[in-house]
Amino acid sequence: NRSSMERYSLHKVIGEGSFGRALLVRCKSTQEKYVVKEIQLPKNQSKLESSRREAVLLSRMKHPNIVAFREAFEADDLLCIVMEYCSGGDLLQRIRQQKTAQFCVDDILRWFAQMCAAAKYIHDKRVLHRDLKSKNIFLTDNGTIKLGDFGSACILNSSKAYAHTYVGTPYYVAPEIWDNKPYNNKSDVWSLGCVLYELCTLRHPASETEERGRRPARWNREEGMKVADLLGEKSLIKTSTFEGVESPEACCESREPG
Ligand code: ADP
Ligand code: MG
């Protein structure tokens, strides 16, 4: 309802995605800063459920390296998720600021250990993030990692279940997903590996292989890179009309492998 948003005053827009905006706000009663992620709610009932999934999943995650959930409410056709503000911005911004000088090994290891702790926590709850990338990993003012953006996440029915829907961001997507094969939490681990590479080299592993003219044998890289060039950092689930992709509303489905 309207009164929920009236408890906050808008400071500025800090992120704009295909689904809506991320706003920096201040709580009028406590003066604390928060981020409100606004998501345009679809009219279609089944799509509506998948939009609400992000708020539900985030509300269940309580970990020092996962962005803290405060509340969620719906106002008109917007879903608003209120969460902790990570004033250090996202890791992609941080990498781009770095230009040529490398990060020091201590920072890389500290950040990576925190990402792994967050991933371990969600995987123990059988949640797959499915869009792990530097743009979805945030930093606080004291340099703590906070995993965010559960907009592509899903939950598996059992510890042996696999997901099938094609989602993710091309640069970070594991080969089994390119191959349209069932996947599980290991595909998130691949994406974390890509982030580690990015932290060490300040570039994507994919762009590196491109330059050297090497072609990984197993995956359909040509197709993949076409999409990567097109979308860059953008997530596929939000824009995809890619062949063989299931609709986003099916993304919670999981099956035991045949
Ligand atoms: P989208 O689904 O559009 O990718 P995100 O949740 O990833 O939405 O938010 C988009 C961008 O907004 C992020 O990449 C980040 O730069 C910024 N952002 C989002 N949430 C926060 C937050 N809690 N603290 C700081 N920045 C944030
Ligand atoms: Mg994002």
**Minimum-distance ligand 1 atom for the alpha carbon of 22:** 12
For the CA of 138, the nearest ligand: 1
Confirm whether 107 is a catalytic residue: no
Cα 135 to ligand 2 centre (Å): 6
Confidence of residue 165 (pLDDT cuts 50, 70, 90): confident
The complex's ipTM works out to 0.99
Q: Which amino acid is at 73?
A: F
Please tell me which residue in 90, 131, 149, 188 is annotated as part of the active site.
Answer: 131
Cβ atoms within 10 A of the Cβ of 228, count? 22
Q: Is 182's C-beta closer than 6 angstroms to any atom of ligand 1? A: no
Best mutation site among 19, 35, 240 for ligand 1 pocket (most ligand atoms within 8 Å of CB):
35
Does 218 have pLDDT greater than 50? Answer: no
Global pTM? 0.84
Does 132 have pLDDT greater than 80? Answer: yes
CB 177 within 8 A of CB 187: yes
Cβ atoms within 10 A of the Cβ of 118, count? 24
Residue of 227, 231, 214 lying closest to 135 (CA atoms): 231
Does 226 have pLDDT greater than 80? Answer: no
CB 127 within 8 A of CB 155: yes
Q: Are strands 69-75 and 20-27 parallel, antiparallel or unpaired?
A: unpaired
Section 37-47 average pLDDT: 90
Q: Which two tokens stand for residue 86?
A: 């990570």
Cα 231 to ligand 2 centre (Å): 13
Q: Is 56's C-beta closer than 6 angstroms to any atom of ligand 1? A: no
% of the chain with per-residue pLDDT over 70 = 78
DSSP string, 147-181: E---TT-EE-SSTT-EE-S--S-GGG--HHHHTT-
% of the chain with per-residue pLDDT over 90 = 59
The protein residue with its alpha carbon nearest to ligand 1, atom 17, reads 15
> Measured between alpha carbons, how far is 245 from 118 in angstroms, rounded to an integer?
28
Considering 31-35, 158-162, 226-230, the range whose residues carry the highest mean pLDDT is 31-35
Q: Please, what is the Cα angle at 119 between 137 and 163, to 5 degrees?
A: 105
Does 220 have pLDDT greater than 60? Answer: no
Q: What is the pLDDT of residues 69-100, one digit of tens each?
A: 999 999 889 999 999 999 999 999 999 999 77
**Minimum-distance ligand 1 atom for the alpha carbon of 149:** 6
> Measured between alpha carbons, how far is 109 from 145 in angstroms, rounded to an integer?
11
Does 222 have pLDDT greater than 60? Answer: no
